[in-house]
Structure 1
Amino acid sequence: MSDSSARYVIPTKKFDAAMLSFFNRTVAALTRAGVSVWGSRVLAVRGRKSGEWRTTPVNLLTHGGERYLVAPRGHTQWVRNLRVTGTGELRLGRRAEEFGAVELADAEKPEVLRAYLKRWKFEVGMFFEGVDATASDEELLAIAPGYPVFRINRA
């Protein structure tokens, strides 16, 4: 991977895309109904060009008394939108929590990435190319540019 800062994993096989779409729709439907699947939320962020709400299911990580969003697929559209707006909503059922977001520098990511992988490797491990929660800080620092991480603050 020559430019990890531009890393964006798009499912390439029809089966992978269909499974990811099915999984995302299922988790999003449950989360909209108020059922959190292992900490799932529906992330709502205004589009950076359209200004319209864009939603996607995410895993909200609580670690060390802070809350984080990690983008296992890299620099996705929700990441790009959140960078521009700096705010969004985390939805669970009828509750919508407004938040502000601060993107972490690469040097701050290893501990958060390790905690994220401990919790959700079964779900997102395919996006981490063999790196898991037992990786050294150096290994996690090496992949950090390709995995945006945001600290969530209450608005």
Structure 2
Amino acid sequence: MTSYDSTRNIRPDGRVAPLMNRAVAGLASRGISLFGSRILSVRGRKSGEWRNTPVNVLDHDGQRYLVAPRGHTQWVRNLRASGEGLLRVGRRTETFGAVEMTDADKPEVLRAYLRRWKFEVGVFFDGIGADASDETLLSIAPGYPVFRIHTV
């Protein structure tokens, strides 16, 4: 099994990932959400400029979450620094606050995320699925930032 830590950051490779991100973002900007997709906007921690990326918002047990399947990416670092952002689909924009979850609290959310989107993000989980044990999900938790989000 792969070792996971707080430096895990899988950058998009090749041409497929950027094309898919543009396609999902383009649909979301026109008001079409694929399986909960939104455009996440977060201010850059150094530049202060708004940065956009498509994300999947997970609704689970009455709470909402953002999970970073690629690890500690730039949007994760920016959200940690700002603690807030915008989620957009079409003309609807929602301002939200975010609290990062501890690794111990992630397994249930990671399981729900994989149950919902493994077809899309499974490649980033090295064969680990929703049926994995709590122990396995806890072992990979450091490599997958999770934020509980709330409307402000």
TM range (shorter): over 0.9
Whether 1:40 and 2:37 are equivalent positions in the alignment is yes
Name the structure 2 match of 1:6: 7
Task: Give CA-to-partner distance per residue, 1:16-73, whole Å, 9 cap, x none.
Answer: x211011100000000000000000000000000000000000000000000000000
Distance (whole Å) between structure 1 residues aligned to residue 103 and residue 118 of structure 2: 20
Distance (whole Å) between structure 1 residues aligned to residue 12 and residue 56 of structure 2: 19
Aligned residues: 151
Classify the secondary structure of the residue corresponding to 1:73: coil
Aligned-CA RMSD value: 1.0
Matched ranges for 1:47-126 at <5 A: 47-126=44-123
Q: Structure 1 residue runs of 4+, over 3 Å off?
A: none
**Deviation for aligned residue 1:129:** 0.7
Q: Where in structure 2 are there 5+ consecutive unaligned residues? A: none
Distance (whole Å) between structure 2 residues aligned to residue 50 and residue 139 of structure 1: 38
**Deviation for aligned residue 1:11:** 3.7
**Deviation for aligned residue 1:4:** 1.1
Distance (whole Å) between structure 1 residues aligned to residue 74 and residue 107 of structure 2: 23
Task: Give CA-to-partner distance per residue, 1:60-111, whole Å, 9 cap, x none.
Answer: 0000000000000000000000000000000010111000000000000000
Classify the secondary structure of the residue corresponding to 2:95: strand
Classify the secondary structure of the residue corresponding to 1:98: strand
**C-alpha contact (below 8 Å) 2:58/2:65 kept by paired residues:** yes
Q: Where in structure 1 are there 5+ consecutive unaligned residues? A: none
Q: Percent identity?
A: 66
Classify the secondary structure of the residue corresponding to 1:150: strand
Q: 1:46 to 1:115 in 2, by over 3 A?
A: same
Name the structure 1 match of 2:19: 22
Q: 1:76 to 1:18 in 2, by over 3 A?
A: same
**Deviation for aligned residue 1:2:** 5.3
Partner amino acid, structure 2, of 1:32: S
